[in-house]
Structure 1
Amino acid sequence: MTPHLRAGAITAVATLVVDQASKFWLLYGFDLAQRGVVKVTPFFDLVLAWNVGISFGWFQSENQLAQIALMAIKAIAVIVLGIWMARSSTLLATLALGLIIGGAVGNGIDRFLYGAVVDFALFHIEIAGKTFNWYVFNLADVAIVAGVAGLLYDSFLGVPAAKAP
């Protein structure tokens, strides 16, 4: 295993562990479901949301067949991303792919265990008496977005990375 690939694998595992630990603690230690909305700052709340869809709540379905299809798509995506990570020639791209893989696996574990992804972070702002909310998300989502940003940076400004399979 190359040093880059080892770093990417460690990033994926660390992302997965932090994501699952945060969700486990919020569900069973902090008991977010019983607490309801927890105001952390004037613009950030902890709130439990079960996402039965994909990113940003698209394709919402509680149908078991739809959930199995989403898990299968996610498994294929993780395999493809893993192959890409193994072929990557830059550290940034490898780490970014590790973030995406760890986040995808974390959300996949949620879907397998609970039938939905555990989301809990909500940013909002009030302007002229009207509240605007961002999507409720979790740390896996943050890792995926950061990983995509890293890949974009590496693609446009870094050393050319290996092409996706």
Structure 2
Amino acid sequence: MRIFWAALVIFVLDQASKLAVVFGLNLREVGYIDIWPPYLTFRMAWNKGVNFGLFAHNSDVMRWVLIVVSLAITAWVWRWVSRSKQTKMAQISAGILIGGALGNVIDRLVYGAVADFLNMSCCGLENPYAFNVADIAIFAGAAGLVLFAADSKGKARKTP
């Protein structure tokens, strides 16, 4: 049940942030809004690939391949965590990852691409890439699974 609630919270946060920024602030037309330059700007990017636009093809086939792969990974993570004896933190991490993945799947279904809008730069280095709440959740959820998942015997890993 923890997986479901964590996934739902992340999914709602992701979709609400996209609606508020991309459509509410009309970033899709404006393209760029300084929030706290250079540390945080909203920069519109329609990502047709995976992270950093990798495998971005304009073909509809790639869009559906990415949707199917995302759904397959989501189903596998849900099944693995649900069927094995996982820690509370591993269950929450799985939900966070799943919520982020489903947020990006919805974007691909509805818009044909993922709506990315967060851009952060620092220390004289300009980051050309944009990301979204779902991307953060996918990364954090995967990291949480690495850190908190129990081994095959159901024992939590010892952390230093």
Amino acid at match of 2:47: N
Q: Corresponding residue for 1:22?
A: 17
Q: Corresponding residue for 1:34?
A: 29
Asked if the contact 1:85/1:98 (under 8 Å) is kept, the reply is no
Q: How many residues align?
A: 151
Q: Distance in 1 between matches of 2:149 and 2:126?
A: 33
Q: Distance in 2 between matches of 1:112 and 1:34?
A: 21
Q: Distance in 2 between matches of 1:46 and 1:151?
A: 29
Q: Distance in 1 between matches of 2:88 and 2:50?
A: 28
Among 132, 145, 150, which residue is 1:151 paired with? 145
Q: Corresponding residue for 1:118?
A: 115
Amino acid at match of 2:148: D
Q: Distance in 1 between matches of 2:36 and 2:52?
A: 23
Among 1, 6, 11, which residue is 1:11 paired with? 6
Structure 1, unaligned runs of 5 or more: 1-5, 161-165
Shift of 1:81: 1.0
Asked if the contact 2:18/2:115 (under 8 Å) is kept, the reply is yes
Say which SS state the counterpart of residue 62 (structure 1) adopts: coil
Asked if the contact 2:81/2:94 (under 8 Å) is kept, the reply is yes
Say which SS state the counterpart of residue 69 (structure 1) adopts: helix
Q: Corresponding residue for 2:69?
A: 73
Q: Distance in 1 between matches of 2:97 and 2:76?
A: 12
RMSD: 1.7
Shift of 1:126: 5.0
Q: Distance in 2 between matches of 1:132 and 1:29?
A: 26
| Percent of pairs with identical residues | 35
Q: Distance in 2 between matches of 1:155 and 1:56?
A: 27
CA separation of 1:112/1:46 partners in 2, compared to 1, >3 Å: closer, same or farther? same
Note the alpha carbon deviations across 1:92-140, whole angstroms, 9 max, x for none: 110000011000000000001111000000011353xxx4215310000
Runs (4+) of structure 1 exceeding 3 A deviation are none
Give TM-score, length-normalised by structure 2: 0.87
Shift of 1:78: 1.1
Note the alpha carbon deviations across 1:18-71, whole angstroms, 9 max, x for none: 101111111221111232211111221001100000122111111001111111
Q: Distance in 2 between matches of 1:86 and 1:117?
A: 28
Q: Distance in 1 between matches of 2:70 and 2:142?
A: 16
Q: Distance in 2 between matches of 1:26 and 1:114?
A: 15
Q: 94-103 or 30-39: which moved more?
A: 30-39
Say which SS state the counterpart of residue 133 (structure 1) adopts: coil
